[in-house]
Structure 1
Amino acid sequence: MPININSNLPAAKVLAQEGIFTMPFERAERQDIRPLRIAILNIMPTKEQTETQLMRLLANSPLQIEIVLLHPATHVSKNTPIEHLNAFYQTFEDIKHQKFDGLIITGAPVEQIPFEHVTYWKELEEIMEWSRTNVYSTMHICWAAQAGLYYHYGIPKYPLEQKLSGIYLHKRTDHNSPLMRGFDDVFWAPHSRHSYVKMSDVQKNPELNILCEFGEDGLYLVSAKRGRQIFVTGHPEYDANTLKTEYVRDLAKGLDVPMPAHYFTDNDPKKPPLVRWRGHANLLFNNWLNYYVYQETPYDLQAIQNEE
């Protein structure tokens, strides 16, 4: 089944070229079916690119999904035209009286800034609090995972000595979670960030379950009870060239950043990236949609409530 999106959205054209079935809102409204309502709070600077990346993963499912794009009203985007935001996005004020099956909060390049100093932090706090009673399952990606763990559970983030960038091998540590069904014991996933959350801090909280880890103190997937909150510390949605684009951009700015690890063929930046995370990225989003959104959300969205 398709994702329901505005047919004029640039992502719709890209997905159509890739053979991914999308359905205009006008046609979806004539079908006697309740699609899953998924809101995406997009706080990445490259919003159009992130839209396409996430919709590509959400569309790889037999479920029909209605996408609602959100952006922070308290932040002026420097990289996305205001015409694009006005045409395709809403703000929290527009939808705060609605309920959703799922919510995705993207990452943002603000890991080196204290949470409270981020310009839209107060608005994000309001949205995360609202999600507890108006969204059945929320997926937090990269910086949003750190922000969510901090807001909901008081878990801090810590600075890294240098940027973590590359494709890393992860170990599955939970064999019972539905989110991990079909996962290999080890798998690859992208990371791109300047801060991290300590595994020991998460382990102290009985409400949280670590599903995957990497390295000595690296977290990748953390789940709250019943999957109402999912925290993904990496960027499974990244395209083949996203890390390369970031690396070239940072070098052009004169930044001292490491070459993305385990990424370029033969570790040579002149050669193309070796994509080896796409299968598990699709599996992660499919499992989330199936086991934590579709099978758990009440048919009547008004029945969603906080479990506490």
Structure 2
Amino acid sequence: MPIKVIKNLPAITKLAQENIFVMDTERAESQQIRPLHILLVNLMPTKEVTETQILRALSNSPLQVNLTLLHTASRKSKNTDEAYLDTFYRTFDEVRDQFFDGMIVTGAPVELMPFEEVDYWSELTEIMDWSEEHVYSTLYICWGAQAGLYHHFGINKEVMPKKLFGVYLHDIYNERPVLFRGFDEKFWMPHSRHTTVSQVAIRGNRDLELLAGSAESGAAIVRSLDNKHIFVFGHSEYDRDTLQREYERDISRGDGVEIPENYYPNDDPKQKPVVRWRSVSTLLFTNWLNYYVYQETPYILEQIQKMKFERDKNQGAYI
């Protein structure tokens, strides 16, 4: 949460230069407080595992969050019991008339397929279009990030020579965005994917900013300049053993996958994996939740539609 101090205190300017958020009393007293409404579009087959990871990442904030779980109705789940979905999940038709402060779109194991051949692509694009007037800010993860970047900005994914698999060190290209408050100058994050997106295409789009990446991982974190879309191509939410379970699964299939990089001590799968990304996960999700959602979303959620109209009218005037 922000530090609250008297307006115009000289320390505010100094702390702002250090990327520390300080709220003056005037702004604090004008704020109205209510729970945040977040929609989780869970595209993973093992939904319970993914929802637990996301909930853990969101839980390190003092903000109260009301989470709604959504699954795609156009694809029947093979790994999650129908009764479980009926009990805990909603379909798009059940939420299309609602408004949300934030939305999270997960990855999905369909990255080698063209987007248009994914059986729920039409439904997903409808959700992403709907979010423009019903959601204040959206966080996209891995394949979800590639899908969002393709749909909203026309940048397609590219197949890599070999699977990017392991935990990688990333550079921050711009420390100014509040998404990186509390981050070290370099940070670790897991990746597990066969595809990437062009950094040249991202840098060439006037509505996007490449925030972080590396020579090995390529683009890692991208934002739209209006902060409505945050794209994360890695998996900071992963558990300690997630890459290990994927590695064992691929080995059992005979996929010939290599040992995940920078994961096991001495690259020995018999040793306990080293977690290097837990603090990054906490900061990434809480910074998004606080600065890109809580501090900006309207108290009356229905006003998101009006804000979308004003953005369209002043297109290009991003802050």
Aligned to 2:187: 187
Aligned to 1:228: 228
Rg larger in structure: 2
Aligned to 1:18: none
Aligned to 2:150: 150
- The alignment status of 1:107 with 2:111, answered yes or no, reads no
- Deviation string, structure 1 residues 79-122 (Cα, Å, up to 9, x no partner): 11111101100011100110000000000011100000000000
Native 8 Å contact 2:38 2:66 kept in 1: yes
Gaps of 5+ in 2: 2-31, 313-319
- The alignment status of 1:299 with 2:280, answered yes or no, reads no
Task: Give how far 1:225 is off.
Answer: 1.9
Letter in 1 for 2:298: P
Q: Secondary structure at the match of 2:182?
A: coil
CA RMSD between the two structures: 1.3
Aligned to 2:250: 250
Structure 1 Cα separation of the partners of residues 162 and 237 of structure 2: 23
Aligned-residue sequence identity (percent) comes to: 53
Q: How many residues align?
A: 278
- Deviation string, structure 1 residues 268-306 (Cα, Å, up to 9, x no partner): 011111001000110000100010000000000000032
- Deviation string, structure 1 residues 225-267 (Cα, Å, up to 9, x no partner): 2311000000111000000001100111111212111001221
1:1-308 alignment runs, 5 A limit: 34-215=34-215, 218-305=218-305, 306=308, 307-308=311-312
Q: TM-score, normalised by structure 2?
A: 0.85
The runs of at least 4 consecutive aligned structure 1 residues that moved more than 3 Å come to none
Structure 1 Cα separation of the partners of residues 197 and 248 of structure 2: 27
Q: Secondary structure at the match of 1:133?
A: helix
Structure 1 Cα separation of the partners of residues 61 and 161 of structure 2: 39
Task: Give how far 1:34 is off.
Answer: 2.2
Structure 1 residues 177, 33: closer, same or farther in 2, change over 3 A? closer
Q: Secondary structure at the match of 1:227?
A: coil
Gaps of 5+ in 1: 2-31
Structure 2 Cα separation of the partners of residues 217 and 208 of structure 1: 18
Task: Give how far 1:33 is off.
Answer: 6.1
Q: TM-score, normalised by structure 1?
A: 0.88
Letter in 2 for 1:99: F
- Deviation string, structure 1 residues 159-183 (Cα, Å, up to 9, x no partner): 1122111000000111110111111
Native 8 Å contact 1:199 1:217 kept in 2: no
Structure 1 residues 217, 39: closer, same or farther in 2, change over 3 A? closer
Please identify, of 187-196 and 33-42, the stretch whose mean Cα deviation from structure 2 is larger: 33-42
